[in-house]
Chains A and B, each alone.
Chain A
C-alpha cells in the first residue's frame, strides 16, 4: 500500500473526525484508533494533529465534549452537535461530488486528440 501523505488529508480532516463521531461519543484516543482501524491503517494520523483538530471543531460548535471520571482518571468524551450532523451531511455531499470528478479524470482512458 502506498503511504498516505498527511498533506493529502488537509481540508478533509474535519469531515473524517465528524464521521468517526457520528455513531456516538468517543474520547480523543478512541477517535485516533477508529480512524486507523476504519481505514485499515491507511489513516494513521499523528496524535498531535487529531487532538487540536477536535478542539477546533468544538470551538466551531460542530462537536461538544463532556468530562467523565473513569477508573479514577478524568476523560473527555466528544459528541456531535446538531450543527455537526448538518455539517457532516454537507461534507459528504461535497466529497461525493469531488471524488466522482477526481475518479472520472484520473481513470485511465484515451483522451480525444485536439486538432
Chain B
C-alpha cells in the first residue's frame, strides 16, 4: 500500500514536472521572475491535484485533470508574457538609472566647462549629450511610474509600450556614449587616465545597450507572434 502511494506520488510529480518544464521553455523574461512563477504554479498544481484526489480520482487522472484546469503550457505562457515583459522593461530601466551616474561622472569630470563659463548652454556645449540624457531620464521616470505603484493614479503603461520605452532608453544611451567617444576623439584631448576610464565605461554600456536592444526586440516579436 505504502509503495503504491509512493509510486503514485512519483507519477504525479513526474506529470507536474513535465508540464512545468514545457511551460518553462515558453516563458521569456527575467530568470528570477520565471523561477518564481514556476514555483508558484507547482504549488498550485499540487493543490489542484489534491482536490481531485479528494473527489475520488486516481492519482494520475487527478494530476491530468489539474493540469487541464491550468491550461496548455502555451496558454499559460501567453498569459504571463505581459507581466514578464513589464518586469524585464522595469529591470532594464532601473539598471540604466542605477549605472548612469557611474558613466556620466567620468565624462563630467573630463569635459566639464571652464569655471568662468557657467549656465546650461556652456554645459551643453561641453557635453552635447545632455539633452539626450534628459529625454532618457524623463522616459525612464515616466515608465517606471506608470508600470509601478503610481499606476493607481496615472494611466497604466502596457507591457508593449514599457518594452518600447526601455528600448528607446537603450538607443539614447547608445547614441550618447558613441557621441561622447567621438567628441573626445575629435577634441584632441590627451589620453589621460580619466579619458580612458570614461571611454571604458561608455564602451561597456554600449555593449550592454546592444544586448538590451536585441533582447527587447526578441521579446516584442515573441509577444506579437502570440
Contacts and interface: CB of A to CB of B under 8 A. Distances in A.
Q: Do the two chains belong together in a single complex?
A: yes
Interface of A: 27-30, 32-33, 46-49, 51-52, 55-56, 59-62, 73-76, 83, 87
Interface in B26-74: 36-37, 39-44, 46-48, 51, 69-71
Nearest to B78: A48
B122 interface: no
A74 B149 contact: no
Contacts, number: 72
A29 B76 CA distance: 14
**Residue picked from A47, A49, A56, A73, most chain B C-beta under 10 Å:** A47
Interface of B, helix, strand, loop or mixed by DSSP: helix
Nearest to A28: B44
Contacts of B36: 76
Interface of A, helix, strand, loop or mixed by DSSP: helix
B83 A52 contact: yes
B151 to A, nearest CB: 5
A72 B53 CA distance: 20
Contact of B83 (A29, A47, A55): A55
B191 interface: no
A60 B147 CA distance: 7
